[in-house]
Amino acid sequence: MNRVAVFIDYQNVYRRARSAFFNEYDLHSLGQISPRKLGDLIVGRKPGSSLEFVRIYRGLPDARKDPKGNAACTRQVAAWAAQPLVQVFTVTPRRSTSCSGLARDRRGMPGRRPLLAREVRATNAHGQRSTPAPG
């Protein structure tokens, strides 16, 4: 049996879904995903596979700068976290004003991508970290 772990950079998946199936004037809710359903879809394409976990990484607007965006994203994160086998990781960007902004940290690097890359490298197939969590 093949064990599958799915790592999702939410903003990239959301933007690609929007550009593939919708236009820029459609409701912002179109293009949203269910991490668990996406994981099940991926696993379902390879017989004999089982889903170990889905980890989804997304930016979270600063509550002081964008309270409405932060509240919407927080509700979305809570809904995802309630799905079995789904683990959600958020990064509060230092210079973002909305969910859709490409946030960059103080070094000019995208905030969620370094976290995602570190997690993929440090996680084994059982969802256990093989190195200490980044500080």
**What is the pLDDT at residue 135?**
40
**CA nearest to 72, candidates 64, 80, 60, 86:** 60
**What is the pLDDT at residue 93?**
66
In tens digits, the chain (135 residues) has pLDDT values of 899 999 999 989 998 988 899 988 898 888 889 999 999 999 999 999 999 999 999 988 889 989 999 999 999 999 999 999 999 998 876 554 444 444 444 444 445 455 556 666 666 555 555 444 444
Q: Are 110 and 117 in contact (CB under 8 A)?
A: no
**What is the pLDDT at residue 24?**
82
**What is the pLDDT at residue 94?**
59
pTM listed for this prediction? 0.69
Distance CA 50, CA 126 (A): 12
